[in-house]
Amino acid sequence: DIQMTQSPSSLSASVGDRVTITCQASQGINNYLNWYQQKPGKAPKLLIYDASNLETGVPSRFSGSGSGTDFTFTISSLQPEDVGTYYCQQYDNLPPKFTFGQGTKLHIK
Amino acid sequence: QLQLVQSGAEVKKPGSSVKVSCKASGGTFTNYAINWVRQAPGQGPEWMGGIVPIYDTADYAQNFQGRVTITADESTTTVYMELRSLRSEDTAVYYCARGARFREVAGAFHYWGQGTLVTVSS
C-alpha cells in the first residue's frame, strides 16, 4: 500500500505570509494528488487537483506542484479566511484506492 | 451545478446496520462515481468505496470489504451506503462525494454532500 506523509501537522503563520505544506508518497504516484481545505463542521473543499490544477473559483494565491513522490501546496499570501485543516489525497485507479494525508492544521498568529 | 443532499443523522446500537442516502441533482449522475468518505471525530477523512451508477458495481476499500454495500438507483439519482455490524468506532460523519473521471472510480472529489453523522452507542 502507498503511504502518504504530510507535514507539518500544524502551522502558525501571520497574515500575508507564504505558507507551504508538503506531502510525500512512499512510491511514485504520477500526478494523482489532490489538496483539500476543511473548516470545522464542513465537508472538505477541493482546492488543487492532479497536483497543480486550480479548482474553478478558488483564489489564485493557492497553488500546487510536484510529481512522482514529492508534492507541495502553497498559499502565497495568507489571509484570515484560510484558517482550517488541509489534506492531501492520493488516488490509484487500478484498483481504485484513495488515501488522505494526516492533515495540517493552519492557524493565524 | 451538481448538488448532493444526504439523509439525516442516525443513532444506532452496536451490531446493527445503517443505510445513508445521497441524492444528486442539477448535474450528470450516471457517468461519474459517487464515493463514500467517512471522518471520525478529530480524525482525517477515510475513503470507503465508490460506484459509477451506469456500471452498478462498486469498488470498496479493503478496510470495509464485506461490511459495506454501495448501491445506486438511477431512477431517483440516489446512491446508498449500507454499513453493517456497527461498532462504536464507526461513529463518524459520512460524506458522499462525486469523482472527476468519466466512468472511473478515480480523480478528485469536486462535489461533496453535507455529511451525515452516524452515532453508534448502546
Of the candidates A49, A87, A93, the beta carbon closest to that of B104 is on A93
pLDDT category of residue B58 using cuts at 50, 70 and 90? very high
**Is A8 in a helix, a strand, or coil?**
coil
How far is A92 from B63, CA to CA, in rounded Å? Answer: 16
DSSP 8-state class, residue A80: G
How far is A37 from A48, CA to CA, in rounded Å? Answer: 10
DSSP 8-state class, residue A16: T
The string of pLDDT tens digits covering residues B4-55 is 999 999 999 999 999 999 999 998 889 999 999 999 999 999 999 999 999 9
| Residue A15: closest CA among A103, A98, A76, A86 | A76
Mean pLDDT, range B65-72, rounded to an integer = 96
* Among B residues 62-91, those touching chain A with beta carbons less than 8 Å apart: none
The string of pLDDT tens digits covering residues B69-120 is 999 999 999 999 999 999 999 999 999 999 999 999 999 999 999 999 999 9
| Residue A36: closest CA among A96, A81, A78, A90 | A90
Is A100 an 8 Å CB contact of chain B? yes
- pLDDT at residue B27 in the model: 84
Q: Residue B122: enclosing H or E segment and its boundaries?
A: none
Higher pLDDT, B61 or B27: B61
pLDDT category of residue B56 using cuts at 50, 70 and 90? confident
Is A98 an 8 Å CB contact of chain B? yes
| Residue B13: closest CA among B90, B115, B117, B95 | B90
CA distances from A103 to A53, A83, B14, B38, B73 (A): 20, 13, 29, 15, 34
A87, B100 contact by CB (below 8 A): no
The string of pLDDT tens digits covering residues A49-104 is 999 999 999 999 999 999 999 999 999 999 999 999 999 999 988 889 999 999 99
DSSP 8-state class, residue A26: S
List the beta bridge partners of residue B24: B4
- pLDDT at residue B1 in the model: 87
- Whether A50 sits inside 8 A of B108 (CB atoms) is yes
**Residue of A21, A85, A98, A99 for testing the chain B interface, max B β-carbons within 10 Å:** A98
Of the candidates A49, A92, A96, the beta carbon closest to that of B108 is on A49
Angle (CA) B47 A41 A108, round 5°? 105
List the beta bridge partners of residue A97: A92
